């Protein structure tokens, strides 16, 4: 039995009509969410709940800890909830595409499935994915978006 490679080879999307690969969400918005999700994913458990010292003296180490008053999670949830339904559907479809379950030629079908599954819990669903940043990044790349270029333009 032949094993499936961990990452399928790049798919030629020349036969897929361009409008079927189009996103309703701007790629820059996805890259912004990817950056925030990466920031959230590297948080460590809280070791000192009330350090009582100047953050500079502690080399600002608490920024890497998951404090209860940390707003990154709320910021991402608010960002996703502030998107239109079509943009939320794109995010879910990109995450599914990035899991390597589908190829670029499946985008219209994946997006339709995401549309059928869409509800008011999209933000919680996406933020519950431990590898959200990786999935979104891979989803964009599968559709032919140069994520590195988008990141450098955004962070420029």
- pLDDT band at residue 83 under the 50/70/90 scheme: very high
C-beta separation of 75 from 36 below 8 A: yes
Nearest to 40 by CA among 148, 128, 146, 139: 128
What does the pLDDT look like over 86-120, one tens digit per residue? Answer: 999 999 999 999 998 889 999 999 999 999 999 99
Domain extent listing, the chain: 24-149
What does the pLDDT look like over 4-63, one tens digit per residue? Answer: 333 333 334 344 445 556 899 999 999 999 988 888 765 455 555 555 555 555 555 555
Q: Please indicate, yes or no, whether the overall pTM of this predicted structure exceeds 0.75.
A: no
> What angle separates helix 147-155 from helix 132-142, to the nearest 10 degrees?
120
C-beta separation of 103 from 81 below 8 A: no
Write the burial class of residue 134 (CB in 10 Å: 0-12 exposed, 13-18 middle, 19+ buried). Answer: middle
């Amino acid at each position: 039995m032949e094993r499936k490679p961990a990452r399928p080879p790049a798919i030629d999307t020349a036969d897929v009509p361009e409008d079927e690969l189009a996103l309703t969400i701007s790629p820059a918005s996805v890259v912004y969410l990817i950056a925030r999700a990466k920031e959230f994913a590297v948080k460590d458990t809280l070791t000192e709940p009330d350090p009582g010292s100047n953050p500079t003296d502690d080399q600002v180490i608490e920024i890497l800890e998951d404090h209860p008053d940390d707003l990154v999670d709320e910021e991402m949830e608010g960002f996703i909830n502030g998107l239109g339904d079509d943009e939320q559907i794109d995010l879910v479809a990109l995450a599914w595409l990035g899991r390597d379950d589908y190829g670029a030629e499946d985008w219209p079908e994946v997006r339709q499935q995401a549309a059928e599954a869409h509800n008011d819990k999209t933000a919680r669903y996406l933020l519950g994915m431990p590898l959200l940043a990786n999935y979104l990044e891979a989803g964009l790349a599968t559709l032919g978006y140069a994520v590195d270029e988008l990141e450098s333009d955004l962070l420029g």
